[in-house]
Amino acid sequence: MNIRQIESFIMLANELHYGRAAERLSISQPSLSQQMKLLENKLGVTLFRKAGRRIQLTKAGQVFLQHAYAIQKELDSTILEMKYFQTEQRDQIRLGVSGSHLVMTPFEKFTDAYPDTSLCISEHSTSQTIAKVSDRQLDVGVIYSHSASSDLVTEPLFTDELFAIIPNNFELSEKPEIHLEDLNNMPLILLAKNLLIGDFINKELQKAKVVPNIICELVSHYACLAYSERQLGISLIAGSMLQGESEKVTIKPVEDLNFNKEINLTYRKDLLIDEPLTYLFEEIRKLKFLYTEKTT
Residues 6 or more apart in contact with residue 214 via CB below 8 angstroms: 188, 189, 190
| Confidence (pLDDT) at 275 | 87
Which CATH number is 3-85 given?
A: 1.10.10.10
> pTM value?
0.58
- pLDDT grade for 291, boundaries at 50, 70 and 90: low
| Confidence (pLDDT) at 91 | 82
- Mean pLDDT along residues 67-85: 82
**Mean of pLDDT over the chain:** 88
Residues 6 or more apart in contact with residue 122 via CB below 8 angstroms: 94, 95, 96, 97, 138
| Confidence (pLDDT) at 266 | 93
The secondary structure of residue 213, as a DSSP letter, is: E
CATH number for 162-253 (one of 3.30.365.10, 3.40.190.10, 1.20.210.10, 3.40.50.12280): it is 3.40.190.10
The secondary structure of residue 271, as a DSSP letter, is: -
The secondary structure of residue 239, as a DSSP letter, is: G
162-218: pLDDT as tens digits: 899 999 999 999 999 999 999 998 999 999 888 888 889 999 999 999 988 999 999
Residue 294 has pLDDT above 60, yes or no: no
| Confidence (pLDDT) at 244 | 63
CB-CB neighbours of 144 under 10 Å:
22
Q: Specify the CATH superfamily of domain 88-159+261-295.
A: Periplasmic binding protein-like II (3.40.190.10)
* Alpha-carbon dihedral 243, 236, 107, 147, rounded to 10 degrees: 140
Indicate where the chain has its CATH 3.40.190.10 domain(s): 88-159+261-295, 162-253
- pLDDT grade for 292, boundaries at 50, 70 and 90: low
| Confidence (pLDDT) at 94 | 94
